[in-house]
Amino acid sequence: MFVLDSSAFIHEYDVDGPTASIPAVHEELDGGHALRFDAMEGSGMHVHVPDADVIARVERAARNSGDADTLSETDVRLIAAAVELDATLVTDDYAMQNVAERLDVAVDPIAREGITEEREWLFQCAGCGRTFDDDRDRCPVCGSDLTRKNPS
């Protein structure tokens, strides 16, 4: 089973096997891409609504990896659908791939190369330069903005 992100419809990704997606992906698509979604649904693609408990699990994994602010609600629900359906997630989104890997979800990239390693991001203060493991709106020391930083 393959769970398709909107990029799979945009790039007309050819899947050999059963497919699924979520209602929010259809809402993101325009014109011909939405028609492709409709056609695939009409020919057997499963449209899945993930369980709230699994969505919460994905959100926790995203917070732990530092990807929570990068993922949209649609992204979280797609990963949750892949978890529930024990499916391969089809996406080019690196943050989605990073969180999916943490949840032991297989990923199949579309137009780009997939991630090569999982990352746990650090957050660095733009003012004082201190780093933090968790994302915050502002630095608790000097009040400046924090930016996401690769720890290596």
pLDDT tens sequence for the chain (152 residues) = 999 999 898 888 888 899 999 999 999 998 889 999 999 999 899 999 999 999 999 999 998 888 888 899 999 999 999 999 999 999 988 889 999 999 999 999 886 554 455 556 667 787 787 777 666 677 887 878 777 776 65
Residue 106: how many other CB atoms lie within 10 Å: 13
Q: Are 61 and 70 in contact (CB under 8 A)?
A: no
* pLDDT (0 to 100) of residue 152: 56
**Domain range annotation of the chain:** 2-108, 121-152
Q: What is the DSSP letter of 92?
A: -
Spatial distance between the Cα atoms of 55 and 110, rounded to a whole number of angstroms: 24
Query: 138 - beta bridge partners?
Result: 145
CATH of the domain spanning 121-152: 2.20.28
Spatial distance between the Cα atoms of 52 and 50, rounded to a whole number of angstroms: 7
* pLDDT (0 to 100) of residue 56: 97
Q: Are 25 and 96 in contact (CB under 8 A)?
A: no
Spatial distance between the Cα atoms of 104 and 79, rounded to a whole number of angstroms: 11
* pLDDT (0 to 100) of residue 5: 94
Cα 37-16-24 angle, rounded to 5 deg:
25
Fold of 2-108: Rossmann fold (3.40.50)
